[in-house]
Amino acid sequence: MQQVQGRINVAPQQSAVMAHSTASWRAGLGAAALVIAGIFFVLYPWLRPFSDEVSLDGAAAFASDNWLIAHMLAMAGFTLLPVGVFSLYQSLRETVFERTAYWGLVLMQVAVGLTLPFYGGEAFGLHAIGQEALRQQSDALMGLSAVVRGGPGLILFLAALLLLGIASIFVAAVLWRAPTFSRWSGVPLALGLALFIPQFFASQPLRVAHGVLIAVGCTWIALEIWWHRAS
């Protein structure tokens, strides 16, 4: 009888330990995803070739390996953002902040999904155009870049980036209000994502600086998630 009673008492303790271990693992995964995403957002403009994009020099930029690598890093960075926000949401479940965190997660997932098609065209479509222009040694094909970047795809992309900015505001708001997190920890990422559209008109150094801002924001939130896991 005492053995049965002992087993009954141990079972809840084991369940609690397993639950804490699972939550800790998920938090670590989310924190790592955010840090990696931040690094990718710095590497994206740093590796991306910049040129006039209408001449054969532009074709060489499109056709380069760095063009593909840079844009694939950007796509990976976007994809990893919701993984980190999911960990934040998990850490706030069954609190008064769960609803705000939930909508931040949902909006970010939708925004990232709508962002990726444009980046796919930018990476692979323009890469193919550049290769063919170099093969023909003619810049006549370079005008197709406007077709790849325009039309409904551009509208969808801009809407996605606006939605991404809104999602980051939800994330910043929940971090500001939750007493277990630093109030300012969500501000750099929200600012960086809000500036994503304007930074396209900036020079390469400014775009790299913008990537650094996003990386700082991602890393700060990652640290907050990690510290919250240990508390």
Decide if pLDDT at 5 tops 60: no
In 3D, which of 230, 227, 214 has the Cα closest to residue 35? 214
Kindly indicate the confidence band of residue 26, based on its pLDDT and cuts at 50, 70 and 90: confident
Segment 49-53 long-range contacts (CB within 8 Å, at least 24 positions apart): 50/204, 53/142, 53/145
What is the radius of gyration, based on Cα positions, of the chain?
22
Q: State how far the Cα of 144 lies from the Cα of 97, in Å rounded to an integer.
A: 47
pLDDT for the residue numbered 1: 55
Q: State how far the Cα of 59 lies from the Cα of 61, in Å rounded to an integer.
A: 5
Please give, one letter per residue, the 3-state secondary structure of 44-105: HHHHCCCCCCCCHHHHHHHHCHHHHHHHHHHHHHHHHHHHHHHHHHHHCCCCCCHHHHHHHH
pLDDT in tens, 71-121: 999 999 999 999 999 999 999 998 999 999 999 999 999 999 999 999 999
In 3D, which of 186, 183, 157 has the Cα closest to residue 170? 186
pLDDT in tens, 164-209: 999 999 999 999 999 999 999 999 999 999 999 999 999 999 999 9
Q: State how far the Cα of 42 lies from the Cα of 70, in Å rounded to an integer.
A: 10
**Domain ranges in the chain?**
2-230
Q: State how far the Cα of 33 lies from the Cα of 36, in Å rounded to an integer.
A: 5
Kindly indicate the confidence band of residue 16, based on its pLDDT and cuts at 50, 70 and 90: very low
